[in-house]
Amino acid sequence: MKDISLFFHPIGEPQSNDSLQLGNTFEIHTASNFPDLENKGIALYYVPETRNTEDQQPHDTFRKELYNMYKGSSWKGSLYDLGIIQPGENINDTYHAIKSINEELIKNDIIPLVIGGGQDLTHALYQAYEGLEQFVNLTTIDHHLDLNPDQKAIDSNNWLQPILLQKPCFLFNYANLGMQRHYNSPKTLNLFEELYFDIYPLGALKSDLKIAEPTMRNTDILSLDLTSISSSAMEGNYYTEPNGFNALEICNLMRYAGISDKLTSFGIFNLSDNAASTITNKLIGQIIWYFIEGYEQRKGDFPIGSKKSYKKYRVHLDELNEEIVFNKSNKSGRWWMEVPYPGTTNSRFLRHQSVPCTYEDYQEAMRGEIPDLWWKTYQKFI
């Protein structure tokens, strides 16, 4: 692995009294030591970059709450805290640092967990995959779709447009969890529909959070906007949303994310600190804890595992005049649906031709109906 230590500033030694607390579990970048990144796992680091957002005063006080928590009983993966990336001379320097670090970590089977700053840093997470020349799926947890077709500049509310317009574009699919319609213009919503992106409104997820699991299982990059969490679960003047995910829901979503064998990078953004932020810091610590808990329960399913460990179901649909093939994992009981690439096989899309789905999608096909997920994926190939 290339030396990435030069990008980071160290943090102080955590004050953990018990050997089972996370302060004694993480390999931490201190003044005298940089973690030896030999084993696969999760690498946390903090980026207080706020030049493209407003009213933020970020701070890494969440570490105190995180390191006082206890590790799970079955945790075996390596956990690293790489320290702090100070903002560069200009914001593109910060983007470049994140891109370079994440590219190196991902190549070595280490998941970067980036915390702090505006959500425009998601653009830097995406840029890491350009160097890897890999088509990716991006998912955000956000009440606002961060795209403004009438604005060119990148900021925390408009970072998707540069990704969509960039050539070559390595984005295969975008999904959003928690959109609130009153914050999004019809123009933006229509554009997302035309692009066959997957939007799950907050109300639908409140009714059944489990519908988010296949989306998490299908994502490579996850970006969490902390303002998508209800103000009843967050403390401070920055978090003012009356509607949003509650603390239990957001932690359940984090477990779905962690358990996804496909997910390889995660960002927690729009972190703001103030004089009375204990509740917020505790929740951020728990968000990280449940992500790690999910990671430790990965099953080695697609795209890692062999399809030999799946039970295959074939459903003929008269409307398509062909079969839809479903695969059920013998390891986890989870379902996937195969979507054929039209025409000749295109190897660039192999990772996306087996789509995570639910048992309900299989039942829908059994009723002779084309699952919406199959149709939208097929349209992306076209």
Residue 233 domain-assigned? yes
Could you tell me if 336 and 261 lie in one domain? no
Residue 302 domain-assigned? no
SS (H, E, C) 23-53: HHCCEECECCECCCCCCCEEEEEECCCCCCC
Could you tell me if 235 and 377 lie in one domain? no
Mean pLDDT of the chain: 91
Domain final position from 252, 273, 295:
295
Could you tell me if 250 and 110 lie in one domain? yes
Could you tell me if 109 and 237 lie in one domain? yes
Could you tell me if 286 and 370 lie in one domain? no
Rounded to the nearest 10 degrees, what angle do helices 247-259 and 278-295 cross at? Answer: 30
Could you tell me if 106 and 215 lie in one domain? yes
Q: Both tokens of residue 104?
A: 């190196």
Q: What residues contact residue 290 under an 8 Å CB cut-off, 6+ apart?
A: 251, 252, 254, 255, 258
Could you tell me if 189 and 325 lie in one domain? no
> What is the spatial distance between Cα 95 and Cα 92, in angstroms, rounded to a whole number?
5
The answer to whether the beta carbons of residues 120 and 130 sit under 8 Å apart is no
Spatial strand order in the sheet of 310-317: 310-317, 322-329, 335-338, 354-357
> What is the spatial distance between Cα 169 and Cα 192, in angstroms, rounded to a whole number?
16
Collapsing DSSP states into helix, strand and coil, what is residue 382?
coil
Residue 300 domain-assigned? no
- Residue 215, classified by CB atoms within 10 Å of its CB into exposed (0-12), middle (13-18) or buried (19+), is buried
Domain final position from 295, 321, 351:
295
The answer to whether the beta carbons of residues 316 and 322 sit under 8 Å apart is yes
What DSSP string describes 59-102? --THHHHHHTSBPPTT--SEEEEEEE----SSHHHHHHHHHHHH
- What are the backbone angles phi and psi of residue 281, rounded to the nearest 5°? -65, -35
Residue owning tokens 């103030």: 274
Please count the CA atoms within 13 angstroms of the CA of 93 that sit on its side-chain side: 8
Residue 301 domain-assigned? no
Residue 267 domain-assigned? yes
Could you tell me if 334 and 269 lie in one domain? no
Domain final position from 258, 274, 295:
295
Residue 262 domain-assigned? yes
Count of domains forming the chain: 2
Q: What is the pLDDT of residues 107-150, one digit of tens each?
A: 999 999 999 889 999 999 999 999 888 889 999 999 999 998 77
Q: What is the pLDDT of residues 178-230, one digit of tens each?
A: 999 999 999 999 999 999 999 999 999 999 999 999 999 999 999 999 999 99
Q: Which bin fits 80, alpha (ψ -120 to 50), beta or left (φ > 0)?
A: beta
Domain that holds residue 193: 5-295
Could you tell me if 288 and 315 lie in one domain? no
Q: Both tokens of residue 131?
A: 């160097």
Could you tell me if 344 and 251 lie in one domain? no
Q: What is the pLDDT of residues 308-364, one digit of tens each?
A: 789 999 999 999 898 999 999 999 999 999 998 876 555 566 666 899 999 999 999
- Please tell me the pTM assigned to this model: 0.94
> What is the spatial distance between Cα 115 and Cα 269, in angstroms, rounded to a whole number?
6
Could you tell me if 29 and 155 lie in one domain? yes
Q: What is the pLDDT of residues 52-61, one digit of tens each?
A: 886 666 678 8
